[in-house]
Structure formats: structure tokens, C-alpha cells
């Protein structure tokens, strides 16, 4: 992969991580400081929460914190930056999944934030080299060769084999 393509991957990863961090912090402030941002309290009836304060704290500390740590690792060019971004994206997707499961309500914003987490995980996996290069190159896979001795030793060790 070229240096330009690699820089583009990291640049897009930073953009999505910043988007996720800012979104989580705005959501946390809105839930804690503005009484749930107009979200009806009835939506919490199937959850262990009676107000939006604790969900806001969890959103800010867990989701926002994981995004902040991923960004710090990315900007500092630490080797664990890709893994931190995978973890932060998974935290974002888990937050949305649990939110939908507890509130039993769906909003298009939840789809956007779930997709943002998925994009972050995908980009981070690409920075780890998950995309074969070139993608459609034909070739043989390294298949381990078994010798006659391997099958004979298996037969001797297992009396049920004939």
C-alpha cells in the first residue's frame, strides 16, 4: 500500500473518531445538563434508570473516554492506536445496541452512530493490514502437506481408526 493511501486511512480514522467523541460528549452534556434533551422519561421504563443522568455519565465516560483514548493513541502514533480504535468503535456500537434494547425505541440517529462505530472498526482493521493487496491476486494458498507417517501415527494412536 502506498504512503498516500496509508495517510488517507489514518486521516479518515481521525475524522470518524473525532465525530464519535464530539457526538458522545454533546450527548452526555445534553442528557446530564438538559434533562435528557427532550427525550421522554417513559422511554426509560424498561431500563434500570429513572433519569437520564446515569446514562449521560456512562455515555461521556465510557463511550467518550474510549474515543478520547483512541484519539490520543492515534495522534501520538502509538502502536496500539489501531487496536484502541477498534475497541472504541465496538464500544460505540455496543452503546447503541444496548440503548435500543433498553429503550425499545429506534431513531435514525442511532443508525448513524452505529454506522460511525462500524466505519471506525473497519478503518482501524484496514490500518492493521486487513485488506489483501492486491485484492484479487490469484495464487495458491500454503497448504500443509501431510506425509504418510502422519496418518500412520494417527492410526496407531487411535485404535478406532482402520
pLDDT in tens, 112-154: 999 999 999 999 999 988 876 665 666 665 656 665 555 555 5
Domain ranges of the chain: 3-131
> HSE of 144 in the Cβ direction (CA atoms, 13 Å)?
3
> pTM for the whole thing?
0.78
- CA angle (85 as vertex; 81, 87 as ends), nearest 5: 115
Instruction: Give the CA distances from residue 9 to residues 18, 29, 53, 91, 122, in Å, rounded to whole numbers and listed in that order.
Output: 14, 30, 36, 20, 10
pLDDT in tens, 79-97: 999 999 999 999 999 999 9
Of 65, 58, 112, 97, whose CA–CA distance to 84 is shortest?
Answer: 65
Distance, CA of 45 to CA of 57 (rounded, Å): 19
Three-class secondary structure of residue 156 per DSSP = helix
> Mean per-residue pLDDT for 2-20?
91
Amino acid at each position: 500500500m502506498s504512503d498516500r493511501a496509508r495517510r488517507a486511512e489514518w486521516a479518515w480514522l481521525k475524522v470518524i473518531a473525532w465525530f464519535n467523541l464530539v457526538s458522545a460528549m454533546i450527548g452526555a452534556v445534553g442528557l446530564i445538563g438538559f434533562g435528557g434533551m427532550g427525550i421522554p422519561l417513559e422511554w426509560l421504563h424498561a431500563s434500570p434508570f429513572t433519569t437520564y443522568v446515569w446514562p449521560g455519565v456512562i455515555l461521556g465516560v465510557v463511550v467518550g473516554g474510549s474515543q478520547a483514548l483512541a484519539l490520543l493513541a492515534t495522534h501520538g502514533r502509538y502502536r496500539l492506536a489501531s487496536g484502541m480504535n477498534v475497541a472504541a468503535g465496538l464500544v460505540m456500537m455496543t452503546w447503541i445496541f444496548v440503548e435500543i434494547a433498553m429503550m425499545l425505541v429506534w431513531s435514525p440517529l442511532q443508525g448513524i452512530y452505529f454506522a460511525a462505530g462500524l466505519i471506525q472498526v473497519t478503518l482501524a482493521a484496514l490500518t492493521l493490514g486487513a485488506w489483501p493487496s492486491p485484492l484479487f491476486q490469484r495464487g495458491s494458498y500454503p497448504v500443509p502437506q501431510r506425509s504418510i507417517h502422519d496418518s500412520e501415527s494417527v492410526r496407531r494412536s487411535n485404535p478406532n481408526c482402520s
